[in-house]
A and B are shown apart, each in its own frame.
Chain A
Amino acid sequence: MSLQRFLSSIFILSVILAAISCNNDWLTSDYDATVQWEGAYEGPIIFGNLSLKDLLEEFDTTGYVSEDSTGFLYAAYSKDTILRASDLVKIPDQQFFQVFFRSDTNIPGSFLGMLGDTIPFVQDKGFQFEHFRDERLDSIYVKDGEMRIWVRSTIKHEGILTISSDYVFFGGQKYHKVIMISDPSGNYDTTVSIPMAGSTILLDNSVPDSSSLEIQFEFDLINSGADILSSEEVQIINSFHELEYAAAYGYAGALDSVLIDKAELEFDLLQGNFEGTIKLANPQIIVRTDNSMGVPFAVELNDLEARFQDGSSTALTIDPSANPISIAAPDFTQVGQSVKDSTRIDTTNSNIHLAATTDLRGFQYSVRVIANPEGQQDNFILDVSELNVNVEGLVPLHLRIQDVVLTDTFDFDLFSDEDTVFGPDNIDNMLIRMETDNFMPLDLGIQIYFIDTSRSWQPLDSLFGEDKNVFLSGVVNSSGRVILATNKVTEVEMSREQIKNVVDANKLLMKAYIETTDNGSRDVKFYSDYSLNFKLGTRIELHYTIEPEGH
């Protein structure tokens, strides 16, 4: 056999042998294309940077919380009361009555002179000017009102009636009104109306306890020769109606009035359904006044009580040196301006510390106002003058919190969509990691209970274990201010059983445990630049199985 044939035969034989002795197991064996993926991932879920300012803007819907120039926060609840000028001084309607020729006997016409003669009759009198209370005004600048002059003549003569006063001015001119009585029939009756706007009335207070206005009446009778019977006369009523003043000068009187009667200042910030106590370090009441009346006042706080969450109350007393509060007034160089003043009632001048020791709900108070407490003196008052009394309950966020527990429930429904491809059964293990940076003087613990309401609200599981303090208080200096944030990492591992409990729950019961630094044993202060930073991440082990169709 030639070499070529030998090699050819060997070659072909090799191919055949290989073919018949092939390993064809991989063609005939069973295959399972099931894919079971098991992976573990960690990553961030959510983060937040909450400043105290943001939190307050969100939850303090009433806007009661403010900050001072240093950023120190305080809650202020206030009420305003206004004493207006018209409450202090009013000008009652005035009537000045004058009569001519009233006598018991007839006056013959011959006594009146020659026929056609003009005979003057003059009455110059100071008329009592009525006041509202005990004020003794010496000048009134009228902005509105009416002067009426009613004249009735039953004498059978004509005449000229002149009414004037050196103490009433219209547009800078003395009051001088002439009325022609031109009906000698004895049936003359007229009413003249003069607007008082822009007029000035000067009153005479020379007689103690009275004010008078001098008016001169002159009746020039034109003799008709008729007798003036005893039943005939000339009647004049010069009256002021609905006078409104633009300014009034003089003594405004001694007003003594309860401006606010047992009002309540309630502190919403401190109210809520929670256990534990919040103790305020320095609650205060501030009385602020804004006085544009040229009248000094005294403001007295009465019936002051601290009201508490349990319905009880404690009377609060203020040192006599601080109550009543003298309110300054603008002087005569400050007409049209206002003077502001304030007085603080705190632990230095009262026993308000009694309100700081328990759950303060608010304050009750009454405000009594006394005008001219030092006695009679010169005042001025404009129509726009007012005394604004603002009573403010101030709760500086300088406090301590002990054992406060806030509780709330939420609807909860995880993995409710049964059509999802991926569900809780795919989770083998989960770890939740919370990292917090707390720049607040608060220890905050959180516990979340997973509740199934169908099982009598039985807690199925809880999220945190023993260590539920998620936020640890920042480092606080001796004055109660946080100077350094505290970092805390909390990890919660959840097994499949726990995950199942979470999925079965339909309610979350969340409890927040709040205490200030050092278990609430010291007072801390809250500033607007405080913040809470948190980062939530998770580490999750998953599996997912894909089975081929027909498997």
Chain B
Amino acid sequence: MPIRPLVKYTLATLLVALISWHEATAQYANTYYYMFGIPQANQLNPAFQPGCNGYLGMPFFSPIRFQVESNSITYGDIIQWNSSLNKYVTFMYSQGNKQKFMDALKPSNRIRFEAATSILSTGWRKNEWFFTLDINERFVEGTTFPRDLAEFLIYGNLRQSNFNLSDLSQNVSYFHQFAIGASYNLDDEMQFGIRAKLLFGGSNIVTKNSLMSLKTSIEEWNVQSDFMVNVSIPYLEEVPVDEDGYLDMDSLANAALDALFGFPGEIADLMTPSGFSTLGGIKNPGFAVDLGFNYFPVEKLSFSASIVDLGFIRWRNYVWNFHQKADYSFEGLEFKLDEDFSAGDAVLDSIKEQMRIKVTKEPYTTMLAGKIYLGAAYNLTEKVRFGAVFRTRIYNYQFYNQFTVSANVQPISMFSASLSYSIYGNSYTNLGIGLSLRAGPFNLFFISDQAPSAYFWPEDFTALNFRFGMNIVWGCAAMPKAMKDRPLID
């Protein structure tokens, strides 16, 4: 096809993506979606088949990935350049700009951290099929805090007297993932992929139904709360409760850790079915599925779509639920003439009574944050590819969108690189880079969606991620094969 129509098609695709743009507040390592030379690109789309006939990832290093992201505040909101002092200061510095930090906050602010590593990552080709097997360790942490909380902590309650703290939440999950995938290449025109994942929950803390408000005045402070926190923490065997089933705070404060946790005393105790079950998360099972599809309508052009991490984990082991519903007003310490009356004790008793936490042991379910990818790629040549990816992450019934365009080159068979540009939310300065090196059977890659932009414009970056991997590959073609014959993904 002539270049001009192809460019038109590409630009049209980008335009459609931009028009359909909604708030994009999170980002993922999209740079390597269309990058040459990354076997584990099928983790974003199970339909992807690498150019090699097989690969084996280095345990714990293929890949290891890390990401932290914020939907509101940037690095520059926290660390600010002060030209008069000629140095960087925190926003809480006396000559820092606290208001800039506050203005950057949204009503609900999320900071998310995720880390993962692969104990085992391998794939092999069998005719038109490509099979994958992955064992991963994943850690996900998400903190949400309302702007009102920052207002209260930073400024106090003179500028604002009522605070809606309902968005305060914490979600932490650690789980093991066993994934088996298969991709089928149909006449070099389509590829279909599916990956089934068995999940085993290691530990979890999740906030559910968080409703909290604080109303203040010089005469009275009123706290209303209704929230539940579910936890599953291995070996957390005893939580002190009173006869009514409420958390006994006094006992908890005085309890030694070994009174709460029943950690095995010796290694041998771990080498038991029960020990394995707990460490392996077998009693907290879950399931997820990835689905993917690639389509090559014409030469040099491809479209892809995938759904990733559509699943859940059922937490049943060492489960505790903490539910609090309170409406407490503090009018000050009460002054009484009775010498035996202690105002401090009375307030503490009142707080304990009003803010009681009900403790139960009911299993609960958490959902994974599913992701949807929509992509289009144009292979200018066998060694140059332009790609565009739209990704949305579904979490807590909300969508977090990201759009990335990338230029991918593989000038020689042993080296490929990618430059990307991403937009998420109001963040428009996100340059990413990906590098892949293959020397014989060894493949090494590094990818980051923001490292360059964070380097050049540190004050604007809201997130940072990187992916690093080491593989042994075999049966790789010298150069990428032409479209229509094979998918343009090494």
Contacts and interface: CB of A to CB of B under 8 A. Distances in A.
Interface of A: 3-5, 7-8, 11-12, 14-15, 18, 22-24, 26, 29-48, 50, 54-55, 57-58, 433, 435, 534-539
Contact of A29 (B88, B216, B330, B380): B88
Nearest to B339: A58
B219 A8 contact: no
Interface stretch (B24-32, B195-203, B243-251, B450-458): B450-458
A436 B81 CA distance: 50
Interface in B77-95: 79, 81, 85-90, 92-94
Contact of B156 (A41, A55, A58): A41
Interface in B315-334: 330-334
Contacts of B217: 42-43
Contacts of B332: 43-47, 535-537
Contacts of B458: 26
B409 interface: yes
A39 B152 CA distance: 9
A3 B87 contact: no
Given A12-B411, A42-B156, A538-B218, 13 more contacts: A4-B381, A4-B384, A26-B458, A36-B92, A39-B154, A40-B155, A42-B218, A43-B221, A55-B337, A534-B335, A535-B219, A535-B331, A537-B219
Given A35-B92, A42-B218, A8 B330 contact: no
Contacts of B330: 43-44
B89 A44 contact: no
Nearest to A11: B409
A41 B157 contact: yes
Contacts of B155: 39-40
B119 interface: no
A31 B220 contact: no
A14 B334 CA distance: 71
Given A44-B330, A46-B333, A31 B79 contact: yes
Nearest to A9: B411
A37 B452 CA distance: 33
B417 interface: yes
Nearest to B343: A46
A54 B335 CA distance: 12
B126 interface: no
A85 to B, nearest CB: 46
A547 to B, nearest CB: 11
Nearest to A7: B384
B89 A34 contact: yes
A32 B88 CA distance: 6
A459 B93 CA distance: 38
Nearest to A2: B381
Most chain A CB within a 10 A radius of its CB, from B79, B332, B411: B332
B336 A44 contact: no
A15 B419 contact: yes
Contacts of B457: 23
Contacts of B336: 48
A41 B157 CA distance: 5
A38 B94 CA distance: 8
Given A7-B380, A18-B452, A36-B92, A45 B87 contact: no
A36 to B, nearest CB: 4
B420 to A, nearest CB: 12
B383 interface: yes
Contact of B90 (A8, A34, A45, A435): A34
Interface residues of B, number: 49
A39 B337 contact: no
Given A8-B383, A32-B89, A539 B158 contact: yes
Contacts of B221: 43-44
A33 B157 contact: no
A538 B383 CA distance: 71
Contact of B335 (A7, A11, A47, A539): A47
A40 B158 contact: yes
Interface string B277-305: 00000000000000000000000000000
A3 B381 CA distance: 9
A32 B331 CA distance: 40
A37 B98 CA distance: 10
A11 B417 contact: yes
Nearest to A18: B452
B331 A42 contact: no
Contacts of A58: 337
Contacts of B343: 46
A5 B337 CA distance: 92
B380 A3 contact: yes
B337 A54 contact: yes
Given A4-B383, A11-B417, A34-B93, A39 B156 contact: yes
Contacts of B419: 11, 14-15
Contact of A50 (B337, B381, B383, B384): B337
B182 interface: no
A5 B381 CA distance: 10
Nearest to B85: A32
Contacts of B383: 4, 8
Nearest to A51: B337
9 contacts: A4-B380, A32-B93, A35-B92, A36-B94, A37-B92, A44-B330, A47-B333, A48-B334, A54-B337
A43 B216 contact: yes
B405 to A, nearest CB: 14
Interface in B132-157: 153-157
Most chain B CB within a 10 A radius of its CB, from A15, A23, A31, A41: A41
B231 interface: no
B219 A435 contact: yes
B219 A44 contact: yes
Contacts of A45: 332-333
A8 B85 CA distance: 44
Given A4-B383, A42-B216, A46-B333, A11 B90 contact: no
B22 to A, nearest CB: 30
A31 B80 CA distance: 9
A50 B381 CA distance: 90
Most chain B CB within a 10 A radius of its CB, from A37, A57, A435: A37
A538 B218 CA distance: 6
B87 A32 contact: yes
A550 to B, nearest CB: 15
A103 to B, nearest CB: 89
Contacts of A18: 452, 456
Nearest to B87: A30
B409 A537 contact: no
B156 A40 contact: yes
Given A47-B331, A48-B334, A30 B88 contact: yes
A42 B92 contact: no
A245 to B, nearest CB: 53
B157 A42 contact: yes
B367 to A, nearest CB: 37
Nearest to A3: B381
A537 B218 contact: yes
Contacts of B88: 26, 29-32
A539 B218 contact: yes
Most chain B CB within a 10 A radius of its CB, from A35, A44, A55: A44
A186 to B, nearest CB: 86
B446 to A, nearest CB: 13
B87 A31 contact: yes
Interface string B407-420: 10101000001010
Nearest to A21: B456
A313 B158 CA distance: 61
B333 A35 contact: no
Contacts of A35: 90, 92-93
A438 B409 CA distance: 84
Contact of B409 (A8, A29, A40): A8
Nearest to B333: A46
A44 B156 contact: no
Contacts of B89: 31-32, 34
A7 to B, nearest CB: 5
Contacts of A11: 407, 409, 417, 419
